[in-house]
Amino acid sequence: MFRLNRMDAWILLAMFRAGNQNKTDYAGIVSCLPDISLAVPTHQEFKAAYNKFLYIKFIVAEGANTSLAPAAQQLVEAAQPGPAISSAQAWVDAICNTLAAYKCKSMCNRHEWQEAQYLLGVELFSKLKGANNVN
């Protein structure tokens, strides 16, 4: 049995943000991780989340592009904290609480996402994070 966890919630939010910015390739998704107090997910953690989300039909994979299915889109939007709480951490926590109800008896085993794309995404994420810390 595979459970969805906080890392999966964080990656799901990155997919949501990437879709809103038309960055649906793997590097774009990694670069759209919200800045929260966790270590950046590894390539293996991204691949595991991808395969869980594919299994429960939360994502749509079209070649090199990955987007959220309508159910996942609605889940992420419904979990967004109100204007009084604007932290990404609160949003990830709310998504995680909703995902806790999902259990996967299995997961897919697809390998569309490549490590070179992951490394590019981490580099872009680091640059964006550094640019935001300068202000």
φ and ψ of 82, to 5 deg: -65, 175
- Domain boundaries in the chain? 2-134
pLDDT of residue 131: 66
pLDDT single digits (tens) 40-68? 999 999 999 999 999 999 999 888 899 99
- The model's confidence at residue 10, banded by pLDDT at 50, 70 and 90, is very high
The token duo for 127 is: 């640059």
| pTM for the model | 0.87
